[in-house]
Structures are given as C-alpha cells and as structure tokens.
C-alpha cells in the first residue's frame, strides 16, 4: 500500500468518525494523534482528490463529510489497516458523551435493534427482566413503531426499533471524570448460580477489525435467557483496564449510577488481581461490563430476527423513557 493511499484511508477514517462536516484543521489534528504529520495544505490536497473520486463531499466553510462511497472504500481497505479502528471509534463515541449523572441530563451513546414487529411485546418483557437482573446498562429505552422516524433513522415496515443505552456511556462518564481506561477484551463469561465465574472465550480489542462481542452473538454462542431463568449460562461481556490509583473514584461513580437505577457491571476487580481468570496489568484493575448487545441477543435466542447497530449514535437521554414506564 502506497504512502499516499494510507494517508487518504486515514483521512476517510477520521471523517467516518464524525456525523457532521469537519474542516482540514480538525482533520490534521486527528491525523497527528495517529502518527500522520501533514500540513493543512497537504490535507486539503488529499481532500480534493477524495472529493474528485466521490469519496467525500464538500459543504463550503463547514468542511467535508464522507460519502457512502467513501465508507465502502474504507471498509474494503486491508484488514491490518483497520486493526485499531474499533477502539478508536469506541473511544471517540465515549468521549462525545455529555450525560451528567448528577442532573440526569445530556447525550448518551445508544444501541439500536431492528426487531420483527411480532416480537414487540416480548421486547418489554426482556428489558424488564434484564433490568431486574442487573444486565441492562441503564434504566432508559426508546421504542419506535414501523414508519416512525428519529434523526436519520426510519423504522422499516414490519419492524420495531429498540434503543438502549450503550456501556460506552459509562466509559464516557468515567473519562470525563478524569479516569483513563483501556479497552482490553470482549468475550463470553460463564455465569453459575447468578455469579460470574470466568471468561471462556475472549478477543482482544486491539487485534480485531470487528466488534468482538458481535462474533459470539451472531454465532449464537450466548445463553442469556438461561441466565435469566435459572441463573446459569453464557453472557457477552467486555473488560476495561483502569489504573489502580483511580479505583476508589471509579467505585464512587459506579455506586452513584447504581443508586439511579443503572446496572450492567458484572464484576469489579482489585489492583494487581486477576478477574474472571484474566491476568491484569501491573498497578491496574479490571472493570467487567455486560455487553450492549445483550437485549438483541436475548431476542435472537427467542427466535426473532434482529438487525443490530451497536453502538449507533448519540441521543439526549430526555428522548428516552425509563424502563418502568413501559408496562
């Protein structure tokens, strides 16, 4: 791969992480973080080439935005070029969270599930049970019927859309509190008698080109319904590694969220101690969170066809309703 093509793919990657048009100054700044030290003139030159090929679109002084053709070109880039893209995307979305637990206001990262309409009543049963069993990240959801629109999303005929709060929102809350964290692994956790026992399958976030938990959900390796019914089974979960010095503050923030009805924390480790069978780095501890794909995975286990977009977008929490309001 030529150096010029690598630069253009990285520019497309930066553009793909923003919903609105951005200018060459911001693009240059993001490229510097990734090891590409280009002048604004060079960035503009490559943007002109990409626009001529229809991969980006100009919006005057607002900047440029990636096109569907550009997204397709990016997705076809060599796999090794895309390693690390997942972590970058997740961190970008987490950093964009503006939700403040103290005032219960701001934007959260949302997962979206498109589900067969005949399973609509089952959706409410599932989210209630997940919430009761501490397997739902936040006590907020949004449900839309076929034909309804929200932002750029339109619900197709014969479908209903379920919005849930992604656990990237918790990452964002921690990050904005000054707590650094590292995305380590996504995998399957064995649960026995309603207690997490160990990871039985794992994929490193740094070594994959697709979200790790999707692998296990779409291969139908989960048994979340069994966990809800009898307390034992396999749950998709992810590990974050956090410096030991930040443990007390992390615990305080998570406790505050729990008091407001938040959940999804499967296990909370201690400094320098393995968690669920996974070794931790020196002077760090693990935070294990239930995967955001869980609501869709349960419905798939029930036989529903589910199209999952996780994470999908940032939305104001005010546009969602508490789970208990759906009866």
**Residue pLDDT tens, the chain, 327 long:** 567 888 888 899 899 989 899 999 999 888 877 667 788 889 999 999 999 999 999 999 899 999 999 988 887 765 555 666 678 888 989 999 999 999 999 999 999 999 999 999 999 999 999 999 999 999 999 999 998 988 877 888 899 999 999 999 999 999 999 999 999 999 999 999 999 999 999 999 887 767 889 889 988 999 999 999 999 999 999 999 999 999 999 999 999 999 999 999 999 999 999 999 999 999 999 999 999 999 999 999 999 999 888 888 899 999 999 999 986
- What is this structure's pTM? 0.76
Looking at the fold, whether 151 and 98 belong to one and the same domain comes out as: yes
Q: Can you give the pLDDT at residue 295?
A: 95
Same domain, residue pair 212 and 89: yes
Boundary-marking domain end, from 24, 50, 82: 82
What gap in Å lies between CA 317 and CA 201, rounded to an integer?
A: 33
Given 29, 64, 82, the domain boundary residue is: 82
Angle subtended at Cα 27 by Cα 315 and Cα 106, rounded to the nearest 5 degrees: 20
Mark whether 59 and 102 lie in a shared domain.
Answer: no
Q: Which ranges constitute the DSSP H helices of the chain?
A: 3-16, 24-33, 40-52, 68-75, 79-82, 85-95, 120-132, 168-176, 212-218, 224-230, 247-259, 294-301
295 and 159 inside one domain: yes
| Closest to 213 (Cα-Cα) out of 86, 34, 113 | 86
Q: Are residues 66 and 186 located together in one domain of the fold?
A: no
Q: Give the closest residue to 73 by CA, choosing from 154, 157, 141, 13.
A: 13
Residue from 82, 12, 1, 89 nearest 47 by CA: 12
Same domain, 189 and 326: yes
Spatial CA neighbour of 211 closest among 111, 64, 68, 315: 111
Domain that holds residue 281: 83-327
pLDDT the model gives residue 81: 58
Query: Is residue 213 domain-shared with residue 325, that is, in the same domain?
Result: yes
How far CA 268 is from CA of 138, 181, 260, 290, in Å, comes to: 17, 14, 18, 12
> Tokens 């407001």 correspond to what residue?
260
Output the pLDDT for position 78.
Answer: 55
Same-domain status, 129 and 242: yes
Residue 142 sits in the same domain as residue 216 = yes
Pair (67, 106) in one structural domain: no
Give yes or no: residues 115 and 223 share one domain: yes
What is the Cα–Cα distance from 97 to 134, expressed in whole angstroms? 22
Domain count, the chain: 2
Residue where one domain finishes, among candidates 82, 116, 141 = 82
Distance linking the first and last C-alpha atoms of the chain: 56
């Amino acid at each position: 791969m030529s150096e010029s093509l690598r630069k253009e793919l990285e520019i497309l990657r930066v553009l793909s992480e923003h919903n609105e048009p951005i200018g060459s100054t911001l693009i240059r700044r993001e490229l510097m973080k990734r090891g590409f030290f280009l002048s604004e003139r060079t960035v503009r030159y490559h943007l002109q080439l990409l626009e001529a090929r229809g991969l980006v679109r100009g919006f005057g002084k607002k900047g440029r935005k990636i096109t569907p053709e550009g997204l397709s070109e990016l997705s076809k880039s060599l796999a090794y070029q895309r390693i690390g893209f997942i972590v970058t995307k997740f961190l970008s979305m987490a950093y964009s969270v503006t939700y403040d637990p103290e005032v219960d206001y701001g934007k959260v990262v949302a997962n979206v599930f498109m589900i067969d309409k005949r399973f609509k009543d089952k959706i409410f049963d599932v989210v209630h049970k997940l919430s009761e069993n501490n397997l739902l990240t936040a006590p907020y959801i949004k449900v839309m019927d076929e034909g309804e629109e929200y932002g750029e999303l339109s619900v197709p005929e014969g479908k209903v859309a379920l919005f849930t709060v992604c656990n990237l929102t918790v990452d964002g809350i921690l990050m904005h509190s000054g707590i650094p964290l590292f995305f380590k692994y996504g995998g399957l956790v064995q649960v026995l008698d309603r207690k997490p026992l160990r990871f039985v399958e794992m994929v490193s976030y740094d070594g994959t080109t697709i979200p790790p938990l999707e692998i296990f959900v779409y291969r139908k390796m989960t048994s979340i319904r069994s966990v809800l019914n009898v307390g034992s089974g396999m749950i998709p979960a992810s590990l974050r590694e956090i410096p030991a010095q930040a443990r007390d503050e992390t615990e305080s923030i998570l406790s505050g969220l729990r008091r407001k009805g938040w959940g999804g924390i499967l296990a909370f480790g201690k400094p320098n101690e393995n968690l669920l069978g996974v070794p931790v780095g020196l002077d760090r501890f693990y935070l294990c969170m239930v995967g955001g794909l869980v609501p869709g995975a349960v419905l798939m286990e029930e036989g529903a066809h589910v199209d999952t977009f996780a994470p999908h977008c940032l939305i104001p929490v005010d546009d969602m309703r508490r789970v208990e309001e759906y009866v």
